[in-house]
Every structure is written in C-alpha cells, then in structure tokens.
Amino acid sequence: MGGFRICFLGVLLCCWAAIGEATGYMKYKDSKQPLMVRVKDLTSRMTLEEKIGQMTQIERSVASAEIMKKYFIGSVLSGGGSVPAPKASPQTWVKMANDFQKGSLSTRLGIPMIYGIDAVHGHNNVYNATIFPHNVGLGATRDPELVKRIGAATALEVRATGLQYVFAPCIAVCRDPRWGRCYESYSEDPKIVQAMTEIIPGLQGDVPSNSKKGIPYVGGKKKVAACAKHYVGDGGTHNGINENNTIINHQGLMRIHMPPYFNSIIKGVSTVMVSYSSWNGEKMHANRDLVTDFLKNKLRFRGFVISDWQGIDRITSPPGVNYSYSVLAGVHAGIDMVMVPYNYTDFIDDLTIQVKNKVIPMTRIDDAVRRILRVKFTMGLFENPMADLSFVDELGKQGHRELAKEAVRKSLVLLKNGKSADKPLVPLPKKAPKILVAGSHADNLGYQCGGWTIQWQGLSGNDLTSGTTILTAIKATVDPATKVVFNENPDANFVKANDFSYAIVVVGEPPYAETAGDSLNLTISDPGPSTIQNVCGAVQCVVVIISGRPVVIEPYVSSIDALVAAWLPGTEGQGVTDVLFGDYSFSGKLARTWFKSVDQLPMNVGDPHYDPLFPFGFGLTTKPSSVRLTSAGVLSNGGIYYSMVSLSMSLFINLLFFIHT
C-alpha cells in the first residue's frame, strides 16, 4: 500500500508539473522567485543541445538570428575592430544586438543571449566613444574612486550601444615592460592593482551589503557584467613574452598575481577570463587545480569562467592540432563559456559527442550552465532582454569627456623639471611670442589612444574617432597672441633660426596590442630620438612621452629640460595641456619602475638589484598657475600614506575573505 501511495504521489506531481507548463507558468520566468529556484527550474527543462549552446560564444561576423535560434547560442562578442558598420552609430549597434536577441528569444525556452566586447579603456571599439587613459596611466593616479567613476561612465556608453558585458578589467600585474600588454596593467605592484579593482563596482554597481562573497552582481540596466582577466599570472611571463610561461613558485603566484582576484570576487565580478599563458609549463586553459579547485572551490567564485579568444585551441601546439583534446582539457579544467569564436559547429559537435560518450560528465555541463544562467538572471536579462535607445546620448557625452580629462591630468608623471631645481620649466607660460611644437605624436589622435582603439592594433591619424590632439589643445590653451609653430621633425638649424621661447616635443611608441607589442629594446620610435636631439639641443624644451610603458630615455635626459610621462592618454589631449600650462598641478606617481637599460629587466621595486632611472613612486609635483613648486623624492608623504593604507586594507580584506572561505 505504501508503494502505491508513493507511486500515486509521483504521478500527481507529474500532472501538476504538466498543468503548470500547460497554463504557461514557469518558475524561471517569474522574477519574484529566488535566483537559484529560477536557475534550477530552467536547467531542469534544458536539453543537452540547449545547454551546450549556452556554453558557446561566437563572433558577431558569423552570428545571425537564425544561427542563434538553431544552435541555442548563449553569447555573441565583437573582437577588436569588429563592428556592424564603419563609424556605426549607437542606433546601428542597438539594432544589430536586438536582431541577434530576437533569434535567442524565439527558441523553445527563450533564453536571452549576452553580448561581450573589449571595453578596456572606455567603449574603445565604437566611433565617437570617450577613450580614457589605458590602465598604465590610471595606476599612476593612485585614485580608485576615479577609476570607479570611469567604470560607471564606460558602462553607460556600452549600454548606449545595446551591449551588456565587457571583457574588463585586466588585473594583470605586469612585472616586465617588454610585455606587449603591459599598458593594460595598472602596476607592477599588486597592492595598486588590488585598489584599482574598484572599477568593478563602477561597471557593475556596488554589491548589496547582505550579498554573499563570490556571488556575481550587476545592478540594473545602467550597468554591465564585468570580467576579471587574465587568470592568472599573465603579467609574469618569461622575458615579458605574450602568452608565454610564468615561472614562479606557488607562494610567488599567490603573493604577486592572485591578490587582485581576491578583491574582484569580493566585489561581485560576474566573470573571469582564463589566460593564454602557462604556469610552470602548464597551460592555464587546462589547469583544473587553479580554475576549479582554487578559483571556484576555495575562493567560492560563483560567476562563470570564460576562455580567451580561441583559448582552448591554444592548449595544443600548434593551436587546434587536436581539437577534441582541447575541448576536453578546457571544459574539464572548469571553463564554462568558450570564446570559440568562428568554428562553433566544431565545438558544439565535439563537446556533444564527449558528453554522450561520458568522457565529460553531465555534472560538469550542468555546473557551467548554472553559472551562466546565474549571471544572466542576476543582470535582469530575462526581464529586459531587448536594448532600447534610451541611452544613446551617453556615448561620448561631454560629462564623460570631462572625466577623461581629469583622468589624464592625474595620470601625468613629471620626471624632470628644469636642469637645476631652482629653475623649473613647467608650468609653461601661456604668454610667449613664439613656441615650437614638434614630434610624431603631437598631432596624432591614434598614437595618443594606443592599441585597442577602433581597431585591435589601434590606428595612426586623426580621422579614427572624435577627440582632441595635444597640438590642438596647445593652440586652444596659449594666449591668442602666441604663435604656435608645428614642425613634426625639424632640423637643428630650423630651431636655432626661429627664436622660439620654448618647445614642446611629443614622441613615443606607435600603437600595438598583445604579441605585436612585445619588445626587447623598448625604444622610442623613429624619428623621435633625433627630434629630441635637434630641438632640445637648441632651445628650452619639455618632452612628453606617449607610451604604454617605460621606454629607453636615459641617453637623452641630460639634454631635456622637463620630462613628462603621459602614457596613453586617450581622446582628451586637453588633459595634458591643462597640467603643462599650470591650470592644474602635476600629481601622478610612477606605478612602474623606470629602468635605465633593458639589460636590467625584469626589475621591480623590492628586487635586490634595484637600480632604476626613476624609482617606483617617483613623481615631481607643481602648483597651479604662477606659483611653481617642485619636490623631488621617491615618494611624497601622501604616497607613503597611500601605500600604508593600501597595504593595511589589502591585508584586512584578504584576512576577512579567507576567514569566510
């Protein structure tokens, strides 16, 4: 009789479930249901095909509404420079995103897709967006609150184009400036990188006080899902070679490269991207110990883990030579969403076969899908899957450009001011009969912005997007009676013959991204060195370096009167002249050691062989306007205070975190 009752009860429950579906009520569609109830309900309804679709991210160039529907694709991305049309408007972006979304919503279960893009210094793929300084400059500001505001502005500009997910921030701790991605790193010091994870609540919103640690959080339609990358050790590869091997013991990995991930998880980061690099010879994309056992289990990260672009392909050498093995190794390691990005049918077919043959257990697939759905539910995607035009005016708006100017001003580091301390050159006088502006980077917006701007590798010239070059800003700043002469690479005779009051020379590196930026010599690009010599040998000069990292300048320093590290300032060149001419003070401090010679590398603060040209934390200061004050030193009192507070807070946060876990 007891067996009959149990059987009858089971039949009754099935009938109730059937009635629920027939009447259209599904718990996962009810926003009043608890998050995990919705996740569990939806997962229980999904076929293997639908689950694997959710784990698949494809490039927009191969996506369509039909593809989204047929393969149940969970995510679309734009690679560097991948846009719906040249100089596309926000409206064009919104239409494209909504076309893909309509395909997703027309599937049996109507699971919305999530669209990801590399918004690493503003919404940098998009024409007319505000381009902020790259992270190397933001680290020099020592201002986490500023970085949080940049995150909030970036989120609004991304939402203006109908997208909801950014592959940012990069929280690499770059230990060797020869690395082509060093400008994506805030600092060589993990404490500064930890502090700058404040960009995450800027992008996503502040985690509610009652939220459990490790749970992803995105606070509504004005915010986007963020991605901490690249997990882990990408900034420590041997000789700074991109995608190479990070050779360091477990204690060193935990002390240098892991701390920013602690903070990111505490702040509710939605996703973590795995690094192309290896740790002591083991590819991170195949490292189950660090991805599953440490990140997911020990740190209790509850968002989803995403691969890098064709990241699982690169588990083998050459890439893709044994794709089935790559799929197995990557998914087994704990990767939840795979950035395919093109050959999605190969990935789907391989993973399906391996699950059906029980090579990959269904529990691993379910874990991945639950994590992806948790983020989508948390974002409110099920309630608001379609983008609208309500945010289009946020793209490149003046308030964001003012914020970018503030970031530029605070990022500038004054390395030298006058050939003697009692005769400073900056602030420069606005009233002068005639001044010279020279250098390949003085009137080149593309050079100013660097890589990851409109195109993956960046561009040269002034027609790539909207912005202000340093030359244009100089002309707008000086007295109307001052004659500004621009000569990109003058010879010494020209300089001597023109009786200039002073010269501003702007030189540096050309744009680059990733492996294309790897460099063993770290030199200023030609004709930069000869421009410095020709100009500074004939007239008082301030040299402004536009670069993604410290570069070789030791041979020229003695001939230079004033030297400024401006990093990659972005579209708002006015921020540079605001400080050069004394409307604001120099306040930036080096977040990277400036070496004398590349033969010293790698060299970071605290190393036994530490002998820099300009040490970590160095930065002269000025006072605005006519009052001039310089103060040399490794660290100002404010810098020492910052470091002590940062260290104390960092230790306190990490202690609380590990007590919790």
Tens-place pLDDT, residues 282-292: 999 999 999 99
Tens-place pLDDT, residues 593-643: 999 999 999 999 999 999 999 999 999 999 997 443 333 333 333 333 333
The pLDDT of residue 642: 35
Separation between Cα atoms, residue 362 and residue 354, nearest integer Å: 10
b/e per residue 227-238 (b: at least 16 CB within 10 A): bbbbbbbbbbbe
The pLDDT of residue 24: 73
Separation between Cα atoms, residue 118 and residue 180, nearest integer Å: 17
What separation, in Å, do the N-terminal and C-terminal C-alpha atoms of the chain show?
A: 48
Q: Kindly list the catalytic residues.
A: 308, 514
Cβ distance 304 to 371 under 8 Å? Answer: yes
The pLDDT of residue 17: 45
The pLDDT of residue 283: 98
The pLDDT of residue 605: 98
Cβ distance 326 to 312 under 8 Å? Answer: yes
Q: How far is CA 377 from the centre of its chain?
A: 24
Strand partners, 594: 614
DSSP per-residue string spanning 72-135:
T--EEEE-TT--SSTT--HHHHHHHHHHHHHHHHTSSS-PPPEEEE--SSBSTTSTT--BPPPH
The pLDDT of residue 187: 99
Separation between Cα atoms, residue 599 and residue 352, nearest integer Å: 51
The pLDDT of residue 422: 87
Separation between Cα atoms, residue 493 and residue 7, nearest integer Å: 100
**Low-confidence residues of the chain, pLDDT below 50?**
1-20, 22-23, 626-661
The pLDDT of residue 125: 98
